[in-house]
Amino acid sequence: MSHCSTDRILVKFFVLNVRYLIMMLTNKYSEIWDLIVGLTRKVNKEADKALEELGLSYFEYKVMCALEEEGKVPMSRVAEKYMLTKAGLTSIIDRLEEKNYVTRIRSEEDRRVIYVELTDKGREKLAQSRKIFGEVIERFMKKLDNNELDNLEKILTKLIG
């Protein structure tokens, strides 16, 4: 066998191994991603179930959290923060407004802009909801010891950053 054909065989072998390794890494990444998505869905489902007892959905709760954090805010900013469509957010705000948890305020400077803010009743409901949501999160997180929690925080911070 000539030196050139040996080189070609080695190159083909190398390329096949690299492709295999990339495929294996991609599968591993995909498996990890599926676990992250699965955990998120499970937490959201549990939170939805627990919050339902208070008459709120998970997304209603998250929108109320955003409103508490930011105060009077344009609806468009809330939609951006939670990657909701304007129609989806409008539906959530409609439900919250019916329950007297939020109020809409049209901007005096630009009539197209609508602000939303929590009412006192909304703040009270949010305080109750935070307790319930905290209990749901605690059920998941207490499965980890302090070292695992620290590592998880570092990993997630690294992935987000």
- CATH code of the domain in which 103 resides: 1.10.10.10
Beta partners for 28? none
Q: Give the domain extent around 96.
A: 3-160
Q: What is the overall mean pLDDT for the chain? A: 86
The C-alpha atoms of residue 117 and residue 74 are separated, in whole angstroms, by 9
Task: Give the model's pLDDT for residue 27.
Answer: 78
- Each residue of 47-92: pLDDT tens digit? 999 999 999 998 899 999 989 988 888 888 888 887 888 888 899 9
Q: Are the CB atoms for 67 and 78 separated by under 8 Å?
A: yes
**Total domains present in the chain:** 1
